[in-house]
Amino acid sequence: MPSIKKLLVANRGEIALRIMRSAKEMGIKTVTVYSEADRQALHVRFADEAVCIGPPSSSESYLRMEKILDAAAQTGAQAIHPGYGFLSENAVFAKKVKEAGLLFIGPSAESIELMGSKLGAKAAVARFNVPLVPGTAEPISDISKAKKIAKDIGYPVLIKASAGGGGKGMRIVDKESEFDEQMERAVSEAKSAFGDGSVFIEKYVTQPRHIEFQIFGDQHGNVVHLFERECSIQRRHQKVVEEAPSSLLTPELRKQMGEAAVNAAKAANYFNAGTIEFIMDADKNFYFLEMNTRLQVEHPVTEQITGIDLVKLQIKIAEGEPLPFKQEDLKINGHAIEVRVYAEDPSNNFLPDIGTLKTYKRPQGHGIRVDDGFEQGMAIPFYYDPMIAKMICHDETREKAIGKTIRAIEEYEITGLETTLGFCRFVMNHPAFRSGHFDTQFVENYFKPEVLLPLADKTEEVIAAALAVFVSESITAQQKAPPAPVTTESKWKKNRSIITG
């Protein structure tokens, strides 16, 4: 059984730190790579060794397989953890890592490749009794055949690119008269975006909920699930709030979906961490959508409710150890909610608001975890994902976890740029979220920029400026009088009045 002494993390930011923390606790030395934009980044400071791999742009640094493999050879690392994004779901990279005699902390290149094709994935899991959305299991290019299939399934239908994922290359067709045009567009988009024009057709599930199952397999054929995450609160296919467990599932439904998720993983001879994405319709029918063959951004909510460190488990599985527990050993403990803090302006269509963290103070207290990659005074580089942090709150019940999340959002202090924190509080306070009756259209249905009042830092600046004028005028007017005491309102109180939703 190979034992890893030194691990290279081929990523940056919060996930690189999160992985290295677990490695250090296991007594494993850490190496990381960095771009020229990340010289001062925390992941570079945290690692035992760091290797510069090129210019800021990802395509010249974090996506360069050879440079990363060279860094591993140069430092004597025996394994590579890809994190999420970048090369994490690149089958060629997984293969090259293995060919270089290193351990890839993740599934086999074959599993990544199979699940990377939406159609390949559907065909594989269909043989293992996993429910699929009604539709075609083959790529289709003949428009008249496709139209016949759409008619049989019943409108509305969805045309999807086989090479797509995360919502890219999807087209909704409401009625037959629109079919030809949408199909032509879908094919040409798929060709230009993915270099592969194959598309397939599915019944369009309206008001869907996105529920995903965390699965884990070892290299001895054992697979378990670590329950679900509800990820329906998203905008433009980018998740903003995730929670575990889902308020929608009964123990019975959880068992059924969990078994389907385990079967889907077995269909791919899967080992290490993976996620099975399901879509659920208004009648609680669930269907397999796709499998993500990486550790996901939202994995901490699963860690909080199971008490399992998924990164440590990934490392042990990669070393060849069997899963240390059986399905019946696993229990859900309480409820966890993750909110993603992005450097984005919710009142300006969530456009990135890159800048410097003038103030950056994390919330504290029992049951609060902040996974981030920045400190006060640091700039959010514009080259990469604008996520500043993930805040995960864990408590006994969903209601208590929501209450804790609101308290923690109010305690979180970020100035210098706009963030999604106020938006996340709007979600926490919304009756649809609180009642559990929401779907993937939540943001489109309920959010308008008007529900957010100006953020605290702006208010503070205005108050400070007004006070400065007031104080200097008072001094000029009453040269001999002592200056008026300068008092500012508590920021907690001020924050409380920001959200009206």
* Binding to ligand MV4 in span 208-227, by CB under 6 A: 208, 210
Pick 133 or 262: Cβ nearer ligand MV4: 133
Report if residue 205 touches ligand MV4, rule: CB under 6 A. yes
Which listed residue (254, 294, 398, 425) is catalytic? 294
Torsion, Cα of 285, 264, 243, 305 (10° steps): 120
Whether the link from the prior residue into 363 is cis, omega within 30° of 0, is: no
* Binding to ligand MV4 in span 443-462, by CB under 6 A: none
Cα–Cα distances in Å, from 56 out to 34, 200, 357, 489?
A: 9, 37, 20, 42
Structure tokens at 244: 């575990």
Whether the link from the prior residue into 482 is cis, omega within 30° of 0, is: no
Pick 207 or 488: Cβ nearer ligand MV4: 207
Q: Select from 4-12, 184-192, 196-204, 491-499 the region that touches ligand MV4 (CB under 6 A).
A: 196-204
Report if residue 18 touches ligand MV4, rule: CB under 6 A. no
Structure tokens at 31: 């190496």
* Shortest distance, position 208 Cβ to ligand MV4, whole Å: 5
| Distance separating alpha carbons of residues 30 and 127, to the nearest angstrom | 41
Residues in the chain: 501
* Shortest distance, position 133 Cβ to ligand MV4, whole Å: 4
Q: Select from 107-115, 205-213, 366-374, 385-393 the region that touches ligand MV4 (CB under 6 A).
A: 205-213
Report if residue 290 touches ligand MV4, rule: CB under 6 A. yes
Query: Contact 217/270 with Cβ under 8 angstroms?
Result: yes
Give the number of other CB atoms < 10 A from CB of residue 178. 14
Indicate which single residue of 166, 221, 322, 483 sits in contact with ligand MV4 (rule: CB under 6 A): 166
Report if residue 154 touches ligand MV4, rule: CB under 6 A. no
- Beta-sheet strands, E only, within 206-251: 209-217, 223-235, 238-244
Report if residue 174 touches ligand MV4, rule: CB under 6 A. no
Torsion, Cα of 38, 43, 48, 49 (10° steps): -30
Q: Classify the C-alpha dihedral 17-19-22-28 as positive or negative.
A: negative
* Shortest distance, position 322 Cβ to ligand MV4, whole Å: 31
* Shortest distance, position 200 Cβ to ligand MV4, whole Å: 10
Pick 202 or 457: Cβ nearer ligand MV4: 202
Report if residue 314 touches ligand MV4, rule: CB under 6 A. no
Query: Contact 281/207 with Cβ under 8 angstroms?
Result: yes
Query: Contact 338/301 with Cβ under 8 angstroms?
Result: yes
Can 294 be counted among the known catalytic residues?
Answer: yes
Report if residue 285 touches ligand MV4, rule: CB under 6 A. no
Q: Select from 200-208, 247-255, 265-273, 359-367 the region that touches ligand MV4 (CB under 6 A).
A: 200-208
φ/ψ of residue 455, rounded to 5:
-75, 160
* Binding to ligand MV4 in span 405-424, by CB under 6 A: none
Please report which helix (H) or strand (E) contains residue 380, including its range.
none
Report if residue 167 touches ligand MV4, rule: CB under 6 A. yes
* Shortest distance, position 102 Cβ to ligand MV4, whole Å: 31
* Shortest distance, position 424 Cβ to ligand MV4, whole Å: 17
Tokens 């706009």 correspond to 418
Structure tokens at 366: 């029992």
Report if residue 289 touches ligand MV4, rule: CB under 6 A. yes
* Shortest distance, position 203 Cβ to ligand MV4, whole Å: 6
| Distance separating alpha carbons of residues 294 and 218, to the nearest angstrom | 14
Q: Select from 95-103, 142-150, 199-207, 412-420 the region that touches ligand MV4 (CB under 6 A).
A: 199-207
For residue 238, give the nearest of 133, 156, 346, 383 by alpha carbon. 346
For residue 271, give the nearest of 258, 262, 279 by alpha carbon. 262
Report if residue 163 touches ligand MV4, rule: CB under 6 A. no
Structure tokens at 461: 């600046």
* Shortest distance, position 108 Cβ to ligand MV4, whole Å: 22
Site residues, ligand MV4 (CB under 6 A): 133, 158, 166-167, 202-205, 208, 210, 234, 237, 277, 279, 289-290, 440
| Residues involved in catalysis | 294
